[in-house]
């Protein structure tokens, strides 16, 4: 087991050291995805903004809540959910889509997970522009609690890393798993407080802490909305990172070198 941990840590160190490679590849992914497009990634941002406004008006009427407070809420949760869900769903093909590189170039496996997260970070930086525009429109202010977003984001991204790395290895071995993950993410969308507020569940709101993604959303949502992150959500996320980190080290240390044979 110690050897597996050592191999996994060596892989991560090599992945971090190759940051020039995966940042370049991630930037190129964005450019190639929207090549010959006038607005590029901003098409996705524009469509998300339209969806947020449309669903905000409809669901605020259904929930009988003030649209002025509801649209900023779902704008924040939608943007953050897009980042988290993209990292999980895209991790299922992280190695498959890099088959040619893996088969012909010696590079740390973790570099491809870093590439995916960095790519989605670039997308997030585009989409996050929606939030200040919505806040300005509805005259919503921010306060010093926004600074909690920095450690919270690092914590969530670190959790996305270990989840994504494990899923990437499993999915390259079992090619049906990506469809299963996509289906699970659709279900999690409806049971995660994105379209609804946790308080609307009443006494059942505490059940949301059983959903790891609900904790991640809370960490990223509350500082933007001017509230400190919940202590329980933070503690659960730290616990997930510690436990998941050890699981990832053992799992990737044992199986990551087999990826090349499964492609």
Angle value at C-alpha 119, between 116 and 121, nearest 5 degrees: 110
How far, in Å, CA of 116 to CA of 90, rounded? 7
How far, in Å, CA of 95 to CA of 79, rounded? 26
The 10s digit of each residue's pLDDT in 229-261 is 888 899 999 999 999 999 999 999 888 888 888
pLDDT band at 41 (very low <50, low <70, confident <90, very high): low
Residue 109 has pLDDT above 60, yes or no: yes
Residue ranges per domain, the chain?
2-262
How far, in Å, CA of 216 to CA of 98, rounded? 28
How far, in Å, CA of 38 to CA of 21, rounded? 27
Residue 14 has pLDDT above 60, yes or no: yes
Residue 38 has pLDDT above 60, yes or no: no
pLDDT given for residue 157 in this prediction: 96
Across the chain, what does the average pLDDT equal?
88
Residue length of the chain: 263
The 10s digit of each residue's pLDDT in 223-236 is 998 888 888 899 99
pLDDT given for residue 4 in this prediction: 77
Output the pTM of the full model. Answer: 0.91
27-41: average pLDDT: 71
Residue 132 has pLDDT above 70, yes or no: yes
pLDDT band at 36 (very low <50, low <70, confident <90, very high): low
pLDDT given for residue 50 in this prediction: 87
How far, in Å, CA of 154 to CA of 237, rounded? 11
CB atoms within 10 A of CB 114: 24
167-185: average pLDDT: 93
The 10s digit of each residue's pLDDT in 185-238 is 999 998 899 888 888 888 777 888 888 999 999 999 999 988 888 888 999 999
């Amino acid at each position: 087991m110690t050897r597996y941990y050592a191999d996994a840590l060596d892989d991560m160190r090599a992945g971090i050291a190759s940051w020039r490679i995966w940042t370049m590849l991630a930037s190129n992914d964005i450019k190639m995805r929207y090549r010959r497009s006038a607005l590029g990634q901003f098409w996705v941002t524009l469509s998300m903004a339209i969806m947020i406004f449309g669903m905000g008006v409809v669901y605020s009427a259904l929930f009988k809540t003030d649209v002025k407070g509801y649209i900023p809420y779902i704008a924040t949760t939608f943007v953050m959910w897009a980042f988290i869900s993209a990292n999980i769903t895209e991790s299922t093909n992280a190695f498959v889509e890099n088959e040619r590189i893996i088969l012909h170039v010696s590079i740390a496996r973790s570099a491809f997970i870093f590439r995916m997260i960095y790519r989605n970070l670039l997308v997030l930086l585009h989409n996050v522009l929606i939030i200040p525009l919505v806040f300005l429109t509805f005259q919503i202010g921010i306060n010093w609690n926004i600074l909690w977003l920095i450690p919270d984001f690092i914590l969530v991204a670190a959790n996305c890393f270990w989840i994504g790395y494990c899923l990437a290895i499993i999915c390259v071995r079992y090619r049906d798993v990506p469809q299963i993950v996509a289906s699970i993410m659709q279900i999690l969308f409806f049971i995660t407080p994105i379209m609804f507020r946790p308080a609307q569940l009443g006494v059942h709101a505490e059940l949301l802490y059983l959903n790891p993604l609900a904790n991640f959303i809370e960490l990223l949502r509350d500082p933007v909305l001017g509230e400190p992150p919940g202590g329980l959500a933070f503690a659960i996320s730290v616990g997930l990172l510690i436990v998941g980190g050890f699981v990832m080290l053992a799992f990737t240390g044992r199986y990551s070198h087999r990826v090349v044979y499964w492609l």
